[in-house]
Structure 1
Amino acid sequence: MKWVTYDAGDGARTGLLEGELEGAKVHGLAAGTTLLSLLGDDGERLAAAGETARTDPAEVRPLDAVRLLAPIPRPPAVRDALCFLDHLRGCYRALGRPPELPEVWSQTPAFYFGNPAAVVGPHDDVAISPACELFDFELEIGAVIGRGGRDLHPDDAASHIVGLTFFNDWSGRDLQIRDMAHGIGMGKAKDSAITLGPALVTVDELGAAADGRFPVEVSAAVNGTEVARGSLADADWSFGEILAYVSRGTDLLPGDVVGSGTVPGGCLLEHVDTPDIAAFSGWLRPGDVVSLRSPALGETAQTILPAPAVTRLRTGF
């Protein structure tokens, strides 16, 4: 099933996407039903809602007549992991660092907490982060938790995933350099926008992958030129391992979103070709269009807007 949250002019609603993209229709559920409210069990509520959407929808609208929102517009929590170590090696090379990774990267998976209030839809415009000069995108896949849990085992943690969607944590690379200097994790570098969508594609449509390495092919393009292509199947850390680690000593909740980290090559930082990253000519600028594409997950397309004005702190930042 492909679930969407959409607005046809009378507020957000939940619906099932039926048919191919050209001529696809959204079969809407009753007003007030959220995708989040259909999660939390072993899939019975979602399956029943899918049957209702197919046989007795509250409304049916052409896909091109609605605005798609993020499938889960306000997740209970957002985490972003780093499943693809070649992405990190690519970033190291761009920053002039040796590509050999410290041992810690193979001991436990890395992740940070994102901002649920920053979630935007798959076709929403995205403004450059305030005070940012080096704006970037990230080609990632988000796993949505269907059934909550705590202290999950790596062998079956992926069974808690209800489906996948695109995940793009837009990044201010100059802000990230400052965040890293503070040494306490991501701050304003990843705080302004996280794209989810266009749909939540349930795991039954993605092919078997008990460990969470679903065979999902993805690509990214800027202004129509492909920048990267890859597959979730090639991840170094599986979603099963990631979910086991992030649930250690805490609860994963239905609707939580966990990003895969960037597919190798799937950000502009990895393509920096100058020792001075500020001199790189490829950073996103107003008017650029970034698209993420996948035969399984659909497509996002977002236009970059200028950064908003900034009220400076007393030190100038």
Structure 2
Amino acid sequence: MKLRRISTRSGTALAARHEPTDTWIDLEEAQHTLGGESVGSDLVLLLAARERGRDRVSSLMDAAVAEGVATVRDCTPLLPYAPSSLRCFLGWEAHWIRAAHQMVRTNLPAAAPFVRGYETLTRRTFPALKPKASFYDHPAYYTGNHLTIVADGAPMPWPSYTQALDFELEFAMIVDRPLKDASSTEAADAIGGFVVFDDFSARDVQWEEERKGSFGPVVKTKTFGSSLGSVIVTPDEVLDRIDRLDASVVVDGQTWSSTSTRGLHWSPGETVAYASRGEQVYPGELITSGTLPMGCGLELDRWIEPGNEVVLTIDGIGSVSNVVAAQG
């Protein structure tokens, strides 16, 4: 099932997509018009209701379509909900390795021939350009800034302190029930929805924070902004094939990358379970996958500029689109 938040005369409401007719139904208006059991207006609570909640929504949509009421005509993208936290994981070894090689070529060009020679001779990745050892032992993440997430369709601010703004194609998972020290099975069962996520990054700042910072390359590199798709997809549609979804990056109508979620190192359940190790994870927290291989400008060595429209899509989940604003 696909859900989103819409603008109404009284504020906002939840809408669901009626698949047989390819229309969006205002659940609040349908409820008011048709009566019956309430589906509520809280996205996380509705996701937590799982099959029972989806059945109520489906019945309400069928009745609304039959009566010709509550059809949504304005689907202006909005943030589907306000995440209570943001945990950003590293999901793909291939992304890290390609990005690290490009960082070296850009910032230490004299070292690039040595790296290339080592890899040609040994047929192995240069050790310093692989993820650190903990990535292979358990999922790895940093805590992002959930307060600077912008909506699908909103301008993405360009921070004044960077000359190298970049996008990152990811999916995100919404936790809809409390967890602590969960197994991977329990954690997978606590994922209420999936959405496309763009983790914008300041690459020149990342290089400096990696080399000189006390807290690693994810402080000012990452905290200024990210964006969230407007459509949430429930796990029954994608969880069992989350590592087999095609994806793309399109900038100003031109395809920059065609990629996929294949090669995901840790499953969604393992990822969320690690977040819950020794601490409480609460409903409403947003947990991201990390960047898909070839899902960022750094790996592609193609760079966005002010005025570019960046559209990131993952088949089966949706998309997120933002126009890059002028440098602040």
Give the TM-score normalised by structure 2: 0.80
Measure how far apart 1:47 and its partner are. Answer: 4.1
Measure how far apart 1:54 and its partner are. Answer: 4.1
Indicate which of 170, 191, 195 corresponds to 2:227.
195
Segment of structure 1 superposing worse, 82-91 or 288-297: 288-297
Could you tell me which residue of structure 2 aligns to residue 306 of structure 1?
326
Q: Could you say which structure has the larger radius of gyration?
A: 2
Could you tell me which residue of structure 2 aligns to residue 313 of structure 1?
none
Measure how far apart 1:43 and its partner are. Answer: 5.0
Q: 2:219 is aligned with what amino acid?
A: G
Measure how far apart 1:288 and its partner are. Answer: 0.6
Q: Is the 8 A contact 1:39 1:255 kept in 2?
A: no
CA RMSD, 1 decimal: 2.4
Measured in 2, the distance between the counterparts of 1:124 and 1:224 equals 17
Aligned pair 1:61/2:78, yes or no?
no
Do the aligned partners of residues 41 and 16 (structure 1) sit closer, same or farther apart at CA in structure 2, a change above 3 Å counting?
closer
Measured in 1, the distance between the counterparts of 2:17 and 2:98 equals 37
Q: Is the 8 A contact 2:92 2:291 kept in 1?
A: yes
**Bigger fraction of residues in helix:** 2
Q: Is the 8 A contact 1:87 1:264 kept in 2?
A: yes
Q: 2:24 is aligned with what amino acid?
A: V
Measure how far apart 1:37 and its partner are. Answer: 3.5
Stretches (4+) displaced over 6 A: none
- Give the unaligned 5+ runs of structure 2: 30-39, 105-114, 116-125
Measure how far apart 1:76 and its partner are. Answer: 1.3
Could you tell me which residue of structure 2 aligns to residue 2 of structure 1?
2
Residues 258-297 of structure 1: CA distance to partner in whole angstroms, max 9, x if unpaired?
110000111011123xxxxxxxxx3221111101123312
Measure how far apart 1:19 and its partner are. Answer: 4.1
Across the two proteins, how many residue pairs are aligned to each other?
A: 291
Could you tell me which residue of structure 1 aligns to residue 214 of structure 2?
183
Residues 202-241 of structure 1: CA distance to partner in whole angstroms, max 9, x if unpaired?
11122625xxx44322211222222223333420111121
Measured in 1, the distance between the counterparts of 2:306 and 2:10 equals 30
Could you tell me which residue of structure 2 aligns to residue 14 of structure 1?
14
Could you tell me which residue of structure 1 aligns to residue 33 of structure 2?
none
Measure how far apart 1:6 and its partner are. Answer: 2.0
Measured in 2, the distance between the counterparts of 1:193 and 1:24 equals 32
Aligned pair 1:89/2:97, yes or no?
yes
Indicate which of 99, 109, 118 corresponds to 2:148.
118
Q: 2:2 is aligned with what amino acid?
A: K
Q: Is the 8 A contact 2:243 2:264 kept in 1?
A: no
Q: 1:256 is aligned with what amino acid?
A: E
Measure how far apart 1:135 and its partner are. Answer: 0.3
Could you tell me which residue of structure 1 aligns to residue 290 of structure 2?
261
Do the aligned partners of residues 59 and 198 (structure 1) sit closer, same or farther apart at CA in structure 2, a change above 3 Å counting?
same
What is the aligned-residue identity percentage? 26
Could you tell me which residue of structure 1 aligns to residue 83 of structure 2?
75
Could you tell me which residue of structure 2 aligns to residue 311 of structure 1?
none
SS state of the match for residue 306, structure 1?
strand
Q: 2:150 is aligned with what amino acid?
A: V
Q: Is the 8 A contact 1:292 1:301 kept in 2?
A: yes
Could you tell me which residue of structure 2 aligns to residue 239 of structure 1?
268
Q: Is the 8 A contact 1:206 1:215 kept in 2?
A: no
